[in-house]
């Protein structure tokens, strides 16, 4: 089975904020802007789930967690983010029932990277730096999402 850990600089917090009426019942003192903020975090997470499921249904092994005060260079992000420290990085892990679903030649994540490339996400949430462009970039100097692959045989 293929397992991928995804690290990104985008806020992909899974807030479960979907329905405004339900949200207002749970948090009656929250404002409209607080609801929209929470909903936008959830929208980013939903976009990631949809991208992960384009070719095969993944099993989500861990919802996104935030890693705080990290150095982007330690996570193989593009050199546009070199020199930054104390950065927020979101991480999630998924598994697929089959091996090599996304492999092309020597890259086990080739097709999943193609699926993610240039997909816009919402910014100005809890990101600790400015992400320009506000799209997922899987390689090069502006890379803001990274995939680590493991195989369970």
In this prediction, residue 23 carries a pLDDT of 67
Q: What percent of the chain has pLDDT over 70?
A: 96
119 Cβ partners below 8 Å, 6+ apart?
47, 51, 135, 136
- 3-class DSSP assignment, residue 18: coil
In this prediction, residue 43 carries a pLDDT of 97
In this prediction, residue 138 carries a pLDDT of 97
The residue ranges of every structural domain in the chain are 2-151
- 3-class DSSP assignment, residue 136: coil
In this prediction, residue 117 carries a pLDDT of 97
- 3-class DSSP assignment, residue 79: helix
pLDDT at 153 over 70: no
Residue-wise pLDDT for 37-94, tens only, equals 999 999 999 999 999 999 999 999 999 999 999 999 999 999 999 889 899 999 999 9
In this prediction, residue 26 carries a pLDDT of 72
Q: Is the dihedral of CA 20, 26, 31, 33 positive or negative?
A: negative
């Amino acid at each position: 089975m293929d397992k991928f850990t995804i690290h990104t600089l985008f806020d992909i917090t899974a807030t479960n904020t979907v329905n405004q009426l339900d949200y207002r019942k749970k948090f009656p003192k929250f404002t409209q802007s607080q609801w929209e903020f929470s909903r936008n975090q959830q929208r980013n997470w939903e976009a990631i789930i949809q991208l992960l499921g384009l070719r095969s249904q993944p099993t989500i092994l861990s919802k996104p967690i935030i890693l705080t005060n990290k150095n982007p260079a330690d996570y193989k992000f593009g050199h546009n983010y070199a020199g930054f420290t104390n950065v927020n990085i979101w991480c999630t892990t998924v598994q697929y029932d089959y091996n090599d679903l996304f492999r092309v030649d020597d890259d086990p994540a080739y097709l999943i990277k193609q699926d993610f490339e240039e997909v816009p996400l919402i910014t100005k949430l809890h990101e600790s730096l400015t992400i320009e462009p506000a799209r997922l970039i899987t390689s090069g100097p502006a890379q803001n999402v990274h995939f680590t692959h493991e195989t369970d045989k």
